[in-house]
Every structure is written in structure tokens, then in C-alpha cells.
Amino acid sequence: MKRILLIATGGTIASAEDGHGLSPALSGEELAACVPEVEGLCELTTLQLMNIDSTNMRPQDWLRIANAIAERYADFDGFLILHGTDTMAYTAAALSYLVPASPKPIVLTGSQRPMTSSFTDAKLNLYQSLLYAVDDASRDVSIVFGGIAIAGTRARKQRTMSANAFKSVNFPPLAYIRNDRIVRAGSWAASGDAAATDAPAPAPVHFDAIDDRVAVLKLTPGLDPAIFSALMPAYHALVLEIYGLGGIPDYGAGELSFKRAIFDWVDSGRAVVLTTQVPEEGLDLGVYEVGRAYAEHPGILRGGDMTTEAIVAKMMWALTQAGDARELERLFYRPVNHDRSDD
């Protein structure tokens, strides 16, 4: 029987009403005890790493989770992280870079309703996540939620109340879970990795540093380009969500332009990633004139079909690993856990 470490971090799944609104209260052991069916799946050990609302999850907490996995990697066959839904996609993406290409599964799940709710989705999510974690074909970081398994870099919370809260963006789900059955599309294997064998899984590379000075800015009509200079003292990189397939306003001469503001940003040694604020199908700067000017300027990175959550996490990771702009570009464009398609 496989050994799984359940890492509890709080979230709605662990919450109870205390008269002031829902807040995390139940421990990982208490949550596991609510689903007795897990006893036949694996040897389950629980670790209460934190007990917070996921809106309070910060990059330093990603490091705590990654370090906990790395310290215990040899002792377990897989890892299940119970997490709040609001920032789960960010944490899943971050773990994809902090513990990349893991031969052992690192699965995140949670729920839209507390475990103690009469109509909770928590019990099925916990059970199916463990079912996925003990499956021999599972590996790398993923989210299992609402009956689907999603690559950790491709998940996005799409609904605030429904049980099918998450969707896989610009990449097919890794699997569907139907009651006790895992249905995989084709012969899925993690990107860049060989098929699983009976040999002991080696410990993956583990990173323990994050640069959290990365901001996201969404273009809106009439936004003042001077905002870039205002952000310079506080941030090393900016993720800019632009319009459609690759549109950035050009208001004409006589005003500070976005082109000048963005070029000044990257020419100062900071990084910028252009991505689209449209949820699906990605970015292509080569289509419209208003986007082509940015396509080849040094220091401007293209998000392609990545999610904003993955871009943020990847930049926070890559900034600590890269010694210069060329290395940052190489790391950003290198695919990790299916995070981007070929440009």
C-alpha cells in the first residue's frame, strides 16, 4: 500500500462558522477522518503545516510547502495538499517550478463548501485526489477538483460557488475521475520525462528561493502610462495583461506613450511579460500593428498561452535563478509541467 503525506494548509475545506464568517478550524487529521473510505486506499500521514484562509497564502508559504515536500520526499510515494480554492492555482503553479518534474505526484485539492456542510463537495474531492495520488501513472504537480485532474500550471478558478470550480486553460485535462475510476486521455506522460518504471523515483531538483517583487497590471481604456514609473521602485518584473491577441494602445505624439513607458521599464533592467487578458487561446504580438513594435524588443517576454497564475509564479522563481536577462529569457521560455505550448 502506498504511503501518502497529507499536508493541510486550511481553506474552505477546513472551515467552520464562528459567528464572524467562515474561517479555518479543522485539522488535517479531522478532515481525513471525515472520509473513512481513504483507509483502504493508502497509508495516510498528516502534517498540519498551517491553517489559513487561502487569501492569506503568500510566496513565503509556497516555500514552506515545497520545503516540507523536499524534506520528506524519500519517505512517501505521493503528496496531497489541502488548500483553499481562491489561490490554489497560484500555489499549484509555484510548486511546479519549486519542485519541477517530480516523479511522485503532488496533488492539490480543496472544496467550495466546508467539510462539515450538509451538501459539501469536500469528501469526494479528498477521496478522488487520494485515488489519483496513488495511481501509478500520476506524477508532477496537479489539481484534482470536481472530477478532473489539471496540470498545476494550467488551472484557473472559474466559478465562485459551483462544485466544478476549476478549468484547464489552453491544455486538456490530465484525467477525469469517475467515482473510483481514473480515465486518462491517451498515454499521458509529464512533458520532457520518460515513462514511469519500477525503479525507485529519484528526488527532483528542489528550489528554495522566490522573488515576490512581481506585479500584475491589467490594461484598461484610458490607463495612464505613468503608472510604470510609479511601480519601478517596488517591483523587479511586471506581468502586463494587454488586449485581445496582442493590442497595446498608441495614443499618439505629445503624451507619454505606453511604448516609451514599457521600453523604459525593460531598459532599466526590469522584466516585463506581455500576456492577454482574454482567458483562452493566448497571445500573438505579430498580428496587429499595435503589438508588433513589442515583439522583438530586448527584455520583453511573451506569455503565449500561459495562464497569468503560471506567469507570476514562473517569474518569481526565474528571477532568483537568472544572473542576467538572457538567462531569464531562457528559463521563462523553457516548458515546465505543460505550462506553455511552442510559440
Domain 214-333 belongs to what topology? Answer: Rossmann fold (3.40.50)
Active site residue ranges: 12, 85
Indicate the annotated binding residues for substrate. Answer: 54, 85-86
pLDDT per residue over 255-286, tens digit each?
678 888 999 999 999 999 999 998 888 888 76
Is residue 78 within 8 A of residue 109, CB to CB? The reply is no
Backbone angles phi, psi at 319, to 5 degrees: -60, -30
Is residue 177 within 8 A of residue 131, CB to CB? The reply is yes
Residue 111 grid cell: 472544496
Show the DSSP H helices in the chain as ranges: 28-33, 59-71, 88-98, 122-133, 227-231, 258-267, 289-292, 308-321, 325-333
Backbone angles phi, psi at 273, to 5 degrees: -115, 125
Q: How far apart are CA 272 and CA 219, in angstroms?
A: 14
Q: Where are the domains of the chain?
A: 3-184, 214-333
Q: How far apart are CA 185 and CA 104, in angstroms?
A: 20
Q: What is the DSSP letter of 200?
A: P
Is residue 2 within 8 A of residue 107, CB to CB? The reply is no
pLDDT per residue over 131-151, tens digit each?
999 999 999 999 999 999 999
Domains 3-184 and 214-333 share a fold: yes
Is the pTM value of this prediction over 0.85?
Answer: yes
Backbone angles phi, psi at 58, to 5 degrees: -125, 165
Indicate the annotated binding residues. Answer: 54, 85-86
Class of domain 3-184: alpha beta
Q: What is the pLDDT of residue 23?
A: 67
Backbone angles phi, psi at 33, to 5 degrees: -65, -20
